[in-house]
Amino acid sequence: MVETKILIDFEDIGIVECTLSDENNPRTYAAVLSRIPFESRANTWGAEIYFDTPITASIENSKKKVNIGDVAYWPPGKALCLFFGPTLASKGSEPVAASPVNVIGKVTKNIDVLSKVKDGTRLMVRFT
What pLDDT, on the 0 to 100 scale, is given for residue 112?
98
Contact 61, 28 (CB under 8 A): no
Name the band, by pLDDT with cuts 50, 70 and 90, for residue 61. very high
Would you list the domain boundaries of the chain?
A: 3-127
77-100 residue pLDDT tens: 999 999 999 999 999 999 999 999
CA distance 40 to 4: 20
What pLDDT, on the 0 to 100 scale, is given for residue 42?
98
The CATH code that applies to domain 3-127 is 2.40.100.20
Cβ contacts of 11 within 8 Å, gap of 6 or more: 121, 122, 123, 124
Mean pLDDT, the chain, integer: 98
CA distance 109 to 100: 25
